[in-house]
Amino acid sequence: MSIELEIQLVAVVVSVACSLAGVFLVLRRMALMSDAISHTVLLGIVLVFFITRDIASPFLVLGAAAMGVATVGLVEALVRTRLVREDASIGLVFPALFSIAVILITRYAGSVHLDTDAVLLGEIAFAPFRRLEVGGVDLGPRSLWVMGGVLLLNITFIALLYKELKLSTFDPGLAAALGFAPGLLHYAFMTLVSITAVGAFDAVGSILVVALMITPPATAYLLSDSLPRVLILSAVIAALAALVGFWTAWLVDASIAGCMASAAGVLFLLAFLLAPERGVIAVARRRSRQRWEFARLMLAIHLLHHEGAPDAANESRETHLGEHLRWEPKFARRVVSEAADEDLLVRLQDGRLELTETGRDSARKAMLV
């Protein structure tokens, strides 16, 4: 396998693993918790490193995951005091734990391979240089195996507990009443998020984990209404962002992690503008269409009201609409001609407007007569 291919594989696997966990984080309104966890796992890594003195120790992941869960627990405990709100307590807990880790690294671990740049920005470009060898046989980049395992864990967890996760996310009250222990499930899920964050953190650094966890799900929500489809779309968008990001970084010679996060951001922006139902453009079009529809209906109702009344000759004149309905002449002309096109009314010789039977029907229907 070429180096480029290996980097791309790692990028895709990291990105997809993050996006799957991210779907439930976003649904649970815990998006920013991923940012907190991706930072505080560092303290877990540093503390375990001081015990094991081995940067490749598998216990590092355990320490990191434990610290991630501890972060969630601390934030929630702080919220329960009712002295601090949730957003503020995230902002209190994670910098506290992260800064302890940074101090420990700079003071005591300066000579080992735990530098702050790598922590913040990751080192996915170096992934191919750290190999997994068993009995002298090269099995490929170590991080590919680690993240492959994390991805598999994510898929297994979500597939097995899909129903339970969905219920406890949508309606925790019913989940508890039915005996599905939403609290336990919550912490199990946050453990999964922490493990995913540790792996991703190694590849793209603590700052950009949040981009990989939140951007693909947020994009997928704009495109679909069903949870299984949101999960699949989210994974596809994440993989796409990884590949686009990698090749952009290759072309412009920039940070791979930065380009991956930017690519995810661009994909979000595209969905935000162009999503068929919920995109900004679709919404604007719908609003504009509704505005004209509404104006035609108002005109029909106005004509119906004055039909046969003594003032009808006056009220139903196209030239008087500006006066009566407070419409600009240009607007009124367009509404009248569209209403005529739709066969709601006809223009009479003397400049009056007369409703057709269709026009009367739609006016009556709109007024619930």
Site map 155..174 versus another protein, x via CB under 8 A: -----xx-xx-xx-xxx-xx
52 vs 224, which CB is nearer to another protein?
224
Binding flag, residue 100, another protein (CB under 8 A):
no
What the block records as the tokens of 364 is 């009556």
- Compute the least distance from the CB of residue 44 to another protein, in Å: 30
Nearer CB in complex with another protein: 68/182? 182
Provide the minimum distance between the beta carbon of 293 and another protein in the complex, in angstroms, as a whole number. 19
Q: How many residues lie near another protein (CB under 8 A)? A: 24
Q: To which residue do tokens 């992941």 refer?
A: 61
- At CA 210, angle to CA 65 and CA 21, rounded to 5? 60
Angle, CA 22 vertex, CA 276 and CA 116 arms, to 5°: 125
The residue among 227 and 243 lying less far from another protein, judged by its C-beta, is 227
Query: Measured from the CB of residue 301, what is the shortest distance to another protein in angstroms?
Result: 24
* Residue 245, phi-psi category: left (phi > 0), alpha (psi -120 to 50), beta (remainder): alpha
CA-wise closest residue to 22 among 9, 33, 11: 33
- Do residues 88 and 49 lie in contact, with contact meaning Cβ atoms separated by under 8 Å? no
Of residues 233 and 257, the one with the C-beta less far from another protein: 233
Distance, in Å, from the CA atom of 151 to the CA atom of 216, rounded to the nearest integer, reads 15
- What tokens does 301 get? 């109702």
Q: Which two tokens stand for residue 214?
A: 């939140």
Please report whether residue 27 would count as binding another protein according to CB under 8 A: yes
Longest dimension (CA), the chain: 102
What's the closest the beta carbon of residue 230 comes to another protein, in angstroms?
A: 5
Residue type (1 letter), 346: V
Residues 196-235 that bind another protein (CB under 8 A): 221, 224-227, 229-230
Residue closer to another protein (CB basis): 111 or 226:
226
Instruction: Check residue 225 and report its DSSP letter.
Output: S
Size of the chain, expressed as the number of residues it contains: 369
Tell the smallest beta-carbon distance from residue 174 to another protein (Å). 6
- Torsion sign over Cα 209, 162, 86, 71: negative
Q: Are 260 and 241 in contact (CB under 8 A)?
A: yes
Q: Which is nearer to another protein, 120 or 280 (CB)?
A: 280
Binding flag, residue 178, another protein (CB under 8 A): yes
Q: Please report how close the Cβ of residue 23 comes to another protein at its closest, in angstroms.
A: 9
- CB nearer another protein, residue 3 or residue 160: 160
According to the binding rule CB under 8 A, does residue 83 interact with another protein? no
Q: Which helix (H) or strand (E) holds 354?
A: strand 353-355
> By C-alpha distance, which of 282, 311, 299 is closest to 366?
299
Report, in Å, the least distance between residue 224 CB and another protein.
7
**Is residue 176 near another protein by the rule CB under 8 A?**
yes
The distance of closest approach from Cβ of residue 82 to another protein in the complex, given in angstroms and rounded to an integer, is 9
Q: Which residues bind another protein (CB under 8 A)?
A: 27, 160-161, 163-164, 166-167, 169-171, 173-174, 176-180, 221, 224-227, 229-230
